[in-house]
């Protein structure tokens, strides 16, 4: 229960009076090193470059006079109150309402340090609001360029996070947050550190331009992939003229694109010589985990299908079908070159599958059934990791054509058999100990996905393992899953990524319990489920 303290120090909430008293004691008795330790666990040597200058607290009062009276009662000499527009603005953003905030500075007799009291007049503040408005201030004692940067970077390394800045009266003040808020005061205008701390003044417009010109990046990377630039640079740097000659392009035009790619981190430039960065090396055809075909299809076939995004939003229909006149698999059947590119791109996007076997609770013996297993690569990797297991690949006949060769290449063809069938209509091979379902559910809505899961559940004994490989949406900042969610909407009639909760509900509705979600690279995951009893 809150208690209001009255008397010589005026009417002030007991919590706020206690905060004031603690701040006064801190200012009177605390060294720079001890004050710094209140904020962060930083190297002891850091305190040698800092001076603890003042403590600041935020209190609520009916009037600024209440805070002034409290300061006097605590032996602090108050200065004339002033407005505190910056704090009022921060508090308004935090609380969602306008707040009148006044600043009362105080001098503690016999102490070189001061006190700042921000008074929210007539406001109802939470403890979190009060904590957010408090800080300890430190001045960098050396007026050069090296020490302030070193102090700032050390604070960031100690896990403090940027929390605003002020730049006025010839002083740059950077705010950081640790256990409490820290104000780092630097003499003079420090434009470089300000940009490092809060970003460029045009950051929002710059971000908007980067979003709007993302298509230019996609096409530049796709053009480099189509021309085979990375393959040409595989053995070392080449000059612009030679790259132009070997790709059949105009030298001056190619130079512009190469410079753009260098700025994007795809290439490294040394005058007219170009070489591959670690990112650019992934565009090589022979690279482990090559993304060349992905770059070609995202910058080609799917780049064009995205021009139908508004059609999907307005009608609910497939953008791919709107643009190409057929759903994807019909289009691929009629266009073999696109089908080969799609198959290559899908293979390029499965490098993470090598990590899946280690995430599975595989029995020493038994049977693994890969439903919709395609070319058999995942099944082959699982069987290679568990020599005592046998495998069954279940998919449509025209999809499994390469499976025998892939399984043989992984040395497990003698332990695997291919069963042709449609996982919507035909019985799934029964009696397996582990069932795999990799990147299938995101192709379908809940109704069709449920049909697949029910068919699998009918084949499984209770307690058998179902391992689902998907890219679940974990939170609202998961850019890759969210972007693929739109991609699936554009390029399939019914597909989309699901949140973890949606996966759990879908599984529960069809006889499974989701037990765990195990992370893979690029926001992929293995969702481990068990077949329920009954």
In the chain, which residues fall in CATH 3.10.180.10? Answer: 4-198
442 in active site: yes
* Residues 6+ away with beta carbon under 8 Å from 42: 36, 154, 155, 158
CA–CA separation, 300 and 323 (whole Å): 13
- Cβ atoms of 173 and 197 closer than 8 Å: no
Write out the two tokens for 171: 């002083």
In the chain, which residues fall in CATH 1.10.10.10? Answer: 210-299
Q: Residue ranges of the alpha helices (H) in 142-186?
A: 146-157
Question: Is the entire prediction scored with pTM above 0.85?
Answer: no
* Residues 6+ away with beta carbon under 8 Å from 238: 232, 246, 273, 274
Residue 110 CA: distances (Å) to CA of 27, 104, 113, 138 = 11, 19, 9, 19
Structure confidence at residue 11 (pLDDT) = 65
CATH for 210-299, among 3.30.160.270, 1.10.10.10, 3.30.1370.30, 2.160.10.10? 1.10.10.10
Q: Report the run of H or E that residue 82 belongs to, with start and end.
A: strand 82-83
Fold of 4-198: 2,3-Dihydroxybiphenyl 1,2-Dioxygenase; domain 1 (3.10.180)
Residue at token pair 């953008």: 319
CA–CA separation, 488 and 399 (whole Å): 20
Beta strands in 250-405 (DSSP E): 267-270, 273-276, 366-371, 389-395
> What is the pLDDT tens value at each position of the chain, 534 positions in all?
333 444 444 567 888 999 999 999 999 998 999 999 988 888 888 999 999 999 999 999 988 999 999 999 999 999 999 988 888 888 888 888 888 999 999 999 989 899 999 999 988 888 888 888 899 999 998 877 788 888 999 999 888 888 888 877 778 889 999 888 999 998 888 878 888 887 766 777 888 888 999 999 999 999 999 999 999 999 999 999 999 999 999 999 999 999 999 999 999 999 999 999 999 999 999 998 899 999 999 999 999 999 999 999 999 999 999 999 999 989 998 999 998 899 888 888 777 899 999 999 999 999 999 999 988 999 999 999 999 999 999 998 877 777 888 899 999 999 999 999 999 999 999 999 999 999 999 999 999 999 999 999 999 999 999 999 999 999 888 899 999 999 999 999 899 999 999 999 999 999 999 999 999 999 999 999 999 986
* Residues 6+ away with beta carbon under 8 Å from 270: 237
Write out the two tokens for 69: 């009276």
In the chain, which residues fall in CATH 3.40.50.150? Answer: 350-531
Rg (CA), the chain: 32
Domain over 350-531 is classified CATH 3.40.50.150: yes
Catalytic residue among 9, 442, 487, 503: 442
Backbone angles phi, psi at 84, to 5 degrees: -130, 75
């Amino acid at each position: 229960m809150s208690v209001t303290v009255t008397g010589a120090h005026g009417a002030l909430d007991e919590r706020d009076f206690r905060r004031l008293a603690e701040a006064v004691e801190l200012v009177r008795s605390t060294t720079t090193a001890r004050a710094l330790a209140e904020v962060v666990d930083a190297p002891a040597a850091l305190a040698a470059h800092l001076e603890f200058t003042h403590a600041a607290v935020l209190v609520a009062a009916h009037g600024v006079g209440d805070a002034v009276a409290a300061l006097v009662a605590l032996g602090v000499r108050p200065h004339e109150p002033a407005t505190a527009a910056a704090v009022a603005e921060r508090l308004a953003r935090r609380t969602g309402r306008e707040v009148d905030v006044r600043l009362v500075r105080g001098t503690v007799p016999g102490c070189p340090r001061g006190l700042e009291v921000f008074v929210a007049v007539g406001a109802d503040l939470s403890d979190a609001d009060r904590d957010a408005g408090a800080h300890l201030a430190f001045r960098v004692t050396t007026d050069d360029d090296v020490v302030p940067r070193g102090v700032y970077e050390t604070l960031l390394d100690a896990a403090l996070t940027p929390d605003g800045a002020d730049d006025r009266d010839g002083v740059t003040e950077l705010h950081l947050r640790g256990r409490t808020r820290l104000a780092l005061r630097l003499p003079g205008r420090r434009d470089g550190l300000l940009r490092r701390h809060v970003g460029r003044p045009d950051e929002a417009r710059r971000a908007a331009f980067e979003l709007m010109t993302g298509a230019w990046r996609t096409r530049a990377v796709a053009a480099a992939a189509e021309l085979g630039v990375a393959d040409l640079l595989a053995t070392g740097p080449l000059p612009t003229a030679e790259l132009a000659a070997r790709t059949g392009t105009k030298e001056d035009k190619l130079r512009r694109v190469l410079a753009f790619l260098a700025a994007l981190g795809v290439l490294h430039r040394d005058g007219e010589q170009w070489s591959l960065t670690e990112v650019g090396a992934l565009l090589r055809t022979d690279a482990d985990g090559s993304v060349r075909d992905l770059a070609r299809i995202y910058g080609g076939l799917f780049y064009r299908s995205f021009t139908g995004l508004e059609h999907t939003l307005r009608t609910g229909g497939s953008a791919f079908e709107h643009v190409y006149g057929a759903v994807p698999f019909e289009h691929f059947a009629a266009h073999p070159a696109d089908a080969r590119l799609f198959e290559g791109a899908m293979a390029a996007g499965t490098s993470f599958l090598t990590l899946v076997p280690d995430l599975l609770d595989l029995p020493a013996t038994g049977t693994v059934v890969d439903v919709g297993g395609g070319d058999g690569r995942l099944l082959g990797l699982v069987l290679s990791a568990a020599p005592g297991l046998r495998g069954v690949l279940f998919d449509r006949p025209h999809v499994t054509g390469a499976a025998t060769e892939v399984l043989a290449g992984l040395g497990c063809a003698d332990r695997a058999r291919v069963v042709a069938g449609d996982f919507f209509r035909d019985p799934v091979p029964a009696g397996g100990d582990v069932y795999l379902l990799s990147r299938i559910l995101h192709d379908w809505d809940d109704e069709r996905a449920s049909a697949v899961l029910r068919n699998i559940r009918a084949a499984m004994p209770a307690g058998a393992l179902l391992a689902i490989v998907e890219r679940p949406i974990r939170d609202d900042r998961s850019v890759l899953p969210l972007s693929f969610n739109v991609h699936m909407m554009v390029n399939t009639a019914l597909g989309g990524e699901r949140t973890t909760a949606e996966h759990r509900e879908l599984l529960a509705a069809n006889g499974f319990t989701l037990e765990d979600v195990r992370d893979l690279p690029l926001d992929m995951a293995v969702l481990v489920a068990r077949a329920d009893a009954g």
